[in-house]
Structure 1
């Protein structure tokens, strides 16, 4: 196994991690920002107000994009497992 191959595999794995985190956390960050802007405009200083909308959006995102993310994850591992003989030899 060459260092170039290891770096390529590591790059693919890190890209997949960033993609999964961005898809799940991104909408939550947007909703948190909108709720914070609403709180600033209305001067409501409640710390727990943004928790429920962010939780619901995160769960909805996982429900909607979960199958696509699992497909991306299994594609990476299928490619890894099918290429094991080529990587070793």
Structure 2
């Protein structure tokens, strides 16, 4: 299993609070499945990052792309394989 860094750039801060609970619920569910290594917001408000655990880039793209923040256009997804 590899690690993939999903950088979530803030695009629509006015929608952030509206979709925050759905975003956190989504990540909590994936965390319980063992699909998340680490997660958290950037302290400057520019967005946040999630490190996914996945078998392939395609799986990581699917996981990250289903985040409500990404689906609703609140955050713009940038995804990279991450070598710790």
Same fold flag (TM > 0.5): no
Higher strand share: 2
Higher helix share: 1
Structure ID, larger Rg: 1
- TM-score when normalising by structure 1: 0.30
- TM-score when normalising by structure 2: 0.31
